[in-house]
Amino acid sequence: MDEKFYIEVNCQQKCHGEARVCGDVFISRRIKEEGRIIVVLSDGMGHGIKANILATLTATLAVNFTQEHKSVQKSTEIIMKTLPVDSVKHLNYSTFTIVEIDVEGEVRILEYENPKTLVLRGARLHEPEWNCVVLEGEKNEGREVLTTKFRPQKEDRIVFCTDGVTQSGLGSDKYQIGWGLDNLQKFVEETIREESDISAVKLSTKVINKANQNDNFHPLDDISCGVIYFRDPRKLMIFSGPPQDPANDVMFTGLLKQFDGKKIICGATTGDMVAREWGEKITDSNEMPDPDLPPVSYMNGIDLITEGILTLSKVSELLKKYNNNYQLGKGPADEIVRYLLDSDEIQFLVGTNINTAHQDPSMPVELELRRTVVHRITRTLEEKFLKEVTMKFF
């Protein structure tokens, strides 16, 4: 890319009525070694488990074929040939939107039957040139797929959704024929004007909440909205564990001090070391919102200080089960997860000096060495949340 910016990806969803399973499926994948990001949103016909299965099949095929660099026409024909067709309406059971971003900074969008994807440059609609690909073959002959490609700029956003958004409010006094794409566009533009740096998470949530409101808070269809936001990265460093060689204390505490971003220390010994090298004092909190973990502490220049291995282990557990409906608590591990989710580029500085307190055979079996837990957290952040993570062990 010509300039360095972070790509934030998020999708928010609400299920139809009282359904427990969403008939829309969102999959995102970062191919780290190729510098590519692939995002797919699929809408299965109807709602509930059957729709979810069909949408999952569609989204999985779309991600895999795109990852294999198959052509637009070839990928789409295989997907649509694989999917069953409604015997009465003669329609495919799933629609989909595919967004691919490569290391060179080019964005490619492929769309079949979903509402048209919006590209925003700042708070204004940007219209890349769209092309219509007419499919061939007996089963798909005449079906149309829309494609476009463009080079994104910083502060661009891509907004894509299922028709549960654009058809929300259908039949109501205000939106007889549904909310519509034009109203969605105006809503997104106004929202960005009010908050120019609004995150992908917050913008997609606002769209979903508005569509839900249009349906009088009882969705008539599954509602999904994805947002991709190109922006300056938010940075976080987590420092945990003293260096194996105490001679490196000055160097690594210096790296922490010079870091331009949020800073967290995990470990009392690590906190004492940083305070000593910086000439600062640590202030302890007496509040214990999580009975399983010691309270947090504070120090000038550091955003948060927590206990070490136990807290990191719980962070790993929370990240694994976190989803759009999960409510984080107020404990130390929950606070770290909030920082992680709100950050884009995350650096771990991990000392390998063994804490003798964790060699006690009476400690829980699942208690793992710090480096193992950090590797697990890193893998979850990269694969599940598309974060850019680096680790340095010393």
215-235: buried (b, 16+ CB within 10 Å) or exposed (e) per residue? beeebbbbbbbbbbbbbebbb
- In this prediction, residue 3 has a pLDDT band, given cuts at 50, 70 and 90, of low
pTM score of the predicted model = 0.79
pLDDT of the residue at 104: 79
φ, ψ for residue 240 (rounded to 5)? Answer: -140, 120
Q: Is residue 363 part of a domain?
A: yes
pLDDT of the residue at 12: 94
Each residue's pLDDT tens digit, 252-266: 899 999 999 999 999
| Overall domain count for the chain | 2
Same domain, 201 and 219: yes
Query: What is the distance between the alpha carbons of residues 216 and 43, in angstroms, rounded to a whole number?
Result: 22
**3-state SS assignment for residue 40:** strand
Same domain, 388 and 282: yes
Query: Which candidate, 364, 261, 270, 256, places its Cα nearest to that of 317?
Result: 364
Same domain, 366 and 278: yes
Stretch 181-206: mean pLDDT: 96
Token pair listed for 23: 């008939």
Of 136-140, 142-146, 231-235, the one with minimum mean pLDDT is 136-140
pLDDT of the residue at 348: 97
- In this prediction, residue 17 has a pLDDT band, given cuts at 50, 70 and 90, of confident
Stretch 289-317: mean pLDDT: 95
Task: Please give the sequence-ordered ranges of beta strands (E in DSSP) within 313-394, or none if there are none.
Answer: 345-350, 388-393
Stretch 311-337: mean pLDDT: 93
Query: What is the distance between the alpha carbons of residues 375 and 229, in angstroms, rounded to a whole number?
Result: 27
State the residue for tokens 């509040």: 287
Stretch 124-143: mean pLDDT: 82
* Residue 387 or 83, more confident: 387
Reduce the secondary structure of 241-294 to three states and give it as a string. CCCCCHHHHHHHHHHHHHCCCEEEEECHHHHHHHHHHHCCCCEECCCCCCCCCC
Given 231, 254, 272, the domain boundary residue is: 231
pLDDT of the residue at 140: 64
Stretch 122-144: mean pLDDT: 83
pLDDT of the residue at 394: 85
Range of the domain at 74: 6-231
Stretch 68-80: mean pLDDT: 76
Given 231, 250, 272, the domain boundary residue is: 231
Q: Is residue 134 part of a domain?
A: yes
Each residue's pLDDT tens digit, 335-380: 999 999 989 999 999 987 765 554 554 444 334 577 889 999 999 9
pLDDT of the residue at 90: 56
Stretch 135-145: mean pLDDT: 72
- In this prediction, residue 47 has a pLDDT band, given cuts at 50, 70 and 90, of confident
Stretch 141-156: mean pLDDT: 90
pLDDT of the residue at 367: 40
pLDDT of the residue at 365: 38
Same domain, 218 and 242: no
- In this prediction, residue 138 has a pLDDT band, given cuts at 50, 70 and 90, of low
Of 27-41, 44-58, 253-267, 359-373, the one with minimum mean pLDDT is 359-373
Q: Is residue 1 part of a domain?
A: no
pLDDT > 70: percent of the chain: 91
Query: What is the distance between the alpha carbons of residues 114 and 151, in angstroms, rounded to a whole number?
Result: 22
> What CATH number does residue 58 fall under?
3.60.40.10
Same domain, 224 and 247: no
Residue 325 has pLDDT above 60, yes or no: yes
Query: What is the distance between the alpha carbons of residues 178 and 160, in angstroms, rounded to a whole number?
Result: 17
Confirm if 83 and 92 have CB atoms less than 8 A apart: yes
Mean per-residue pLDDT of the chain:
89
Confirm if 37 and 9 have CB atoms less than 8 A apart: yes
